[in-house]
């Protein structure tokens, strides 16, 4: 690679051949670039009279918005194969950032497009991406990369592989219904709704459209006074009751113990209502060291110990 400075206008910013990352340039990055310029060179490849980007897509977007004219670049030989070029871009990101599942699927798609054999992708790339190195994983990622609306949802909340697998069991029409139901909800609620309807579809032997026409779901969907978040909460609660009565009972038990703790308003306890993560999150709102000392005393009062014990016992019962 050869270091040089080139005019930004010489780089084809519309060329996305080697891009697999999805995060756009935000205002903070643009502000940074406007103040200090581009310090780290981006990798480019010569093509004809100009260049195409290989790395640094966000920096290039920011540079354009900041109206920079010159860019520091590392130029690849024009003869470098597309696969070798993409590997350079992949490993340039690999060492310093964590990829979302959506980005992992696009990376796999690029490796396939540029000629890497499926067996090598399973053996090497899936391991690099910290995913199960199986043919089924490759199949799921390949499907995901072709579903634009799903890619957006997966990127926004960084869905788990298992949730994507369940989602892909629905028909295209059903997927549109699901996306409409879960958009804007938290990751946990999206997961509950996708997996809950997947279970009901198999258990009842009905398409999703018919399931949604059932009175117990219609009464939630037609309520005008519910916003998207409230409707999502009620849907998830109804699905839990239908698919996992044991889990529903445990959730009531956990919520009851949290209420019995009677904690001050500066303390908020949260937990994963899918019960996949078996831990509590305690959030404290503090304005001083004295606040911290007082809250820690409150949390440690002997008369609360039994409630804490039962609370953690409920979470441990889930694991068993």
Evaluate if residue 142 carries a pLDDT over 80: yes
Spatial separation of the C-alpha atoms in residues 305 and 294, rounded to whole Å: 17
Retrieve residue 161's tokens: 């592989």
Strand partners, 43: 74
Total length of the chain: 320
C-alpha to C-alpha distance for 237 and 226, rounded to whole angstroms: 14
CA-based torsion, 231, 234, 238, 244: positive or negative = positive
Distance CA 297, CA 2 (A): 62
Tens digits of per-residue pLDDT, 215-224? 989 999 888 7
The mean per-residue pLDDT over the stretch 229-245 comes to 85
Name the residue among 204, 224, 310 with its Cα closest to residue 259: 310
On the 0-12 / 13-18 / 19+ scale of CB atoms within 10 A, 171 is exposed
pLDDT-derived band at 269 (thresholds 50, 70, 90) equals confident
Report all structural domains of the chain as residue ranges with CATH numbers, in order of start: 1-97 (3.90.1530.10), 98-168 (no CATH), 179-243 (no CATH), 246-319 (no CATH)
The tens digit of pLDDT for each residue in 181-236 reads 998 898 989 998 998 999 889 888 999 999 999 998 999 988 878 888 898 889 98
Q: Give the tokens for residue 62.
A: 């920011």
CA 320/CA 315 separation, integer angstroms: 9
Query: Helix 135-145 vs helix 101-113: angle between axes, to the nearest 10 degrees?
Result: 100
Cα distance between residue 152 and residue 154, in whole Å = 6
What's the whole-number mean pLDDT along residues 238-260? 79
Lowest-confidence region among 91-95, 112-116, 278-282: 278-282
Q: What is the pTM of this model?
A: 0.73
Q: Which residue has the tokens 């995060």?
A: 23
Distance CA 187, CA 190 (A): 5
- The H-or-E segment that residue 129 falls in is none
8: which DSSP letter? G
Q: Which has more pLDDT, 249 or 306?
A: 306
d(CA 50, CA 109): 26
pLDDT at res. 319: 44
Binning the chain into helix, strand and coil, the percentages to the nearest 5 are: 60, 10, 30
pLDDT, tens only, 117-135? 999 999 999 999 999 999 9
The pLDDT value recorded for residue 320 is 41
Query: CA-CA distance, 76 to 84, in Å (whole number)?
Result: 10
Query: Higher-confidence residue: 201 or 276?
Result: 201
Say which residue the tokens 């279970």 belong to.
199
CA 114 – CA 17 distance, rounded (Å): 10
Whose CA is closest to 21, among 92, 91, 107?
Answer: 107
Q: What is the distance of C-alpha 240 from the center of its chain?
A: 22
| Report for 101-105, 181-185, 273-277, 301-305: range of highest mean pLDDT | 101-105
State both tokens at 76: 């690849």
**Best CA proximity match to 110, nearest among 11, 16, 43, 45:** 16
């Amino acid at each position: 690679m050869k270091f040089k400075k080139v005019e930004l206008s010489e780089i084809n910013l519309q060329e996305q051949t080697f891009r697999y990352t999805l995060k756009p340039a935000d205002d903070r990055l643009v502000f940074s670039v406007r103040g200090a310029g581009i310090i780290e060179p981006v990798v480019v490849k010569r093509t004809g009279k100009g260049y195409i980007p290989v790395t640094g897509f966000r920096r290039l977007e920011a540079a354009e918005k900041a109206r920079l004219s010159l860019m520091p670049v590392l130029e690849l030989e024009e003869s470098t194969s597309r696969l070798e070029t993409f590997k350079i871009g992949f490993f340039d990101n690999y060492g310093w950032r964590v990829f979302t599942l959506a980005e992992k699927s696009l990376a796999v798609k690029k490796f396939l497009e540029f000629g890497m054999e499926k067996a090598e992708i399973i053996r090497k790339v899936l391991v690099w991406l910290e995913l199960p190195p199986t043919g089924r994983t490759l199949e799921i990622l390949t499907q995901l990369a072709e579903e634009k609306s799903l890619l957006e949802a997966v990127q926004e909340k960084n869905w788990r592989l298992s949730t994507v697998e369940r989602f892909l069991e629905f028909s295209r029409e059903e997927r549109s219904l699901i996306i409409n139901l879960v958009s804007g909800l938290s990751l946990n609620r999206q997961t509950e709704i996708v997996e809950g309807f997947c279970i009901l579809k198999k258990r009842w032997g009905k398409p999703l459209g018919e399931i949604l026409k059932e009175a117990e779901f219609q009464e939630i969907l037609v309520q005008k006074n519910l916003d998207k978040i409230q409707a999502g909460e009620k849907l998830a609660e109804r699905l839990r009751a239908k698919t996992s009565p044991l889990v529903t009972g445990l959730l009531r038990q956990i919520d009851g113990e949290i209420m019995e703790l009677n904690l001050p308003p500066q303390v908020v306890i949260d937990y994963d209502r899918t019960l996949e993560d078996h831990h509590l999150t305690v959030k404290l709102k503090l304005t001083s060291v004295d606040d911290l000392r007082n809250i820690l005393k409150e949390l440690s009062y002997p008369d609360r110990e039994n409630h804490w014990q039962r609370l953690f016992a409920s979470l441990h019962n889930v694991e068993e």
